[in-house]
Amino acid sequence: MIGLFPVPRSAPPAYLLHLIHAATQRVDALYMQALPLGGLTPVQFAVLEAIDLLHRPSGNDIIALTRIDRSTLSDALRRMAGRGLVSKKISKNDRRAHVLRITAAGKSALKLARPVADQAVASLLGELPEHDKRAFLRALQAIVRAGTVPLEA
């Protein structure tokens, strides 16, 4: 049984969508429970991690790396810019695009959020034997790598 839903003996392939959604909801809830008041949401955390990883990325770069849709990214960037966590400047190469940078406040917020995210993932995977954890992570990486077309809202 998963949550309140029994696992069908011959689950249709679409049932996988429910399982993926339930796992995402669980790790987000674990993260939010452990997060200090005023911290980063899971989406903001993913966006800041991506900006920190890439050198002066555009929104399209963030979308390609995180698979976050354009509307959600736009909202997250607006909120984070308002909190002084990121800066946005118009690209010199493409006036329609913004170049994103993480600020010192953004780096501080990210530093506080990383152990919270690590603990949320550890809690999610905690019940799995080590070989199942590795197999699960390899499977997720393969699924993400297979998606080569950027997602749109």
Q: CATH: 3.40.50.800, 1.20.1250.20, 1.20.120.140, 1.10.10.10. Which one for 18-146?
A: 1.10.10.10
The per-residue pLDDT for 36 is: 73
pLDDT digits (tens, 9 = 90+) for 10-53: 666 677 788 888 888 888 888 888 877 668 988 999 999 999 99
Q: Domain residue spans in the chain?
A: 18-146
Task: Give the separation between CA 72 and CA 44, rounded to whole angstroms.
Answer: 10
Q: Which residues contact 5 (CB under 8 A, 6 or more apart)?
A: 18
pLDDT at 6: 60
Query: Reduced to 3 states, what is the DSSP secondary structure of residue 54?
Result: coil
Q: Which residues of the chain have pLDDT under 70?
A: 1-13, 37-38, 148-153
**So what's the pLDDT on residue 149?**
52
pLDDT at position 70 is 92
